[in-house]
Amino acid sequence: VLPSSRALSEFLGRAWKSGGERVRPENLRIRAAAVRTGVGSFPCWRLDFLSGGREFVVYWRMLRWWYAENSPGFLMQGEPALEPG
C-alpha cells in the first residue's frame, strides 16, 4: 500500500492545470477512500483542496503500480478534471 505521505509527494511533485489555469492546492486534506470502476473497486487516497476559489477532489492510487501490469487498477481521477501542466 502506498503511504499517504508518498501519495501527497507524487501529487504535489507535478504541475497541474484545469480549464487552462494552473492549479495551486491550498488547505489540502488527504484521507482513505475507495473508487468503483468498470472492472472492480479499488482503495485510493482522496485529496480535497481549494485552488483559485474552486473546490477540487482528486482520487489518487493507493496500490503500487508495476509498469508491465496489464490491468493496473485505478491510478488517478480528478473533479473538476486535471491534466499535467
Q: Per-residue pLDDT tens for 3-14?
A: 999 999 999 999
Note the pLDDT of residue 71.
Answer: 57
* 49-58: average pLDDT: 96
What one-character DSSP code corresponds to residue 29? Answer: E
**Residue 81: other Cβ atoms inside 10 A:** 10
Distance of CA 11 to the CA centre of its chain: 7
Sign (positive or negative) of CA dihedral 9, 15, 18, 24: positive
pLDDT digits (tens, 9 = 90+) for 68-80: 665 555 578 889 9
Residue with cell 507535478: 14
